[in-house]
């Protein structure tokens, strides 16, 4: 028992991963065709969503990871007239301590955005409602799949 406690005294070397803060860095919502867009019959909207993931080191143990999302929603039944355009940069400050260097890229590209995305999705949904539309629910994102795809693309280019 004393040996087990002795081993745990080296807990300062254990990996630590934690979101410390979440914040909106930039946000824009445009409803360029209001109020006419609300008078058109509801059709299945045309949805274009672009996602970009950024990260930057803040200090030895802290990183900022940001999701940049641009969504353009158009009315298919009304000559693809824009219903709304939304842009958000939603970020989090993460503590990554004693994470082996070979794992940091995956933590930043998969684990951090996976923690952040549900909150980003909720903000986007609420703002679309506040803009006068039904909730815009973005599809879940498989960040592990995106990470693996980007690694495969990088290997093909080398």
* pTM recorded for the entire structure: 0.85
Confidence at residue 11, expressed as pLDDT on a 0 to 100 scale = 54
DSSP letter for 69, please. E
Confidence at residue 5, expressed as pLDDT on a 0 to 100 scale = 47
What dotted CATH number matches 14-150? 3.10.420.10
**Per-domain residue ranges of the chain:** 14-150
Could you list the pLDDT tens digit for every one of the 158 residues in the chain? Answer: 444 444 444 556 899 999 999 999 999 999 999 998 888 776 788 999 999 999 999 999 999 999 999 999 998 877 888 999 999 999 999 999 999 999 999 999 999 999 999 999 999 999 999 999 999 999 999 999 999 998 888 888 87
Confidence at residue 8, expressed as pLDDT on a 0 to 100 scale = 47
User: Is the sign of the CA dihedral 144, 150, 154, 157 positive or negative?
Assistant: positive
DSSP letter for 58, please. -
Q: Which contacts of 121-125 are long-range, i.e. CB under 8 A and separated by 24 or more positions?
A: 123/24, 123/88, 123/90, 124/69, 124/71, 124/86, 124/88
Report d(CA 140, CA 127) in Å as an integer: 18
Confidence at residue 93, expressed as pLDDT on a 0 to 100 scale = 98
């Amino acid at each position: 028992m004393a040996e087990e406690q002795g081993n745990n005294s080296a807990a300062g070397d254990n990996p630590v991963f934690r979101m410390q803060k979440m914040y909106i860095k930039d946000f824009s919502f445009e409803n360029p065709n209001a109020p006419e867009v609300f008078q058109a019959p509801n059709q299945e909207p045309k949805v274009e969503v672009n996602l970009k993931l950024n990260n930057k080191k803040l200090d030895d143990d802290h990183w900022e990871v940001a999701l940049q999302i641009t969504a353009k929603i158009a009315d298919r039944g009304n000559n693809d007239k824009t219903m709304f355009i939304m842009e958000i940069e939603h970020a989090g400050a993460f503590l990554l301590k004693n994470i082996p260097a070979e794992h940091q890229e995956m933590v930043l590209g998969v684990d951090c955005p996976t923690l952040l995305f549900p909150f980003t999705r909720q903000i986007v949904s609420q703002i679309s409602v506040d803009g006068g539309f039904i909730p815009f629910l973005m599809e879940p994102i498989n960040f592990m799949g995106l990470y693996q795809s980007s690694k495969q693309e990088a290997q093909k280019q080398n």
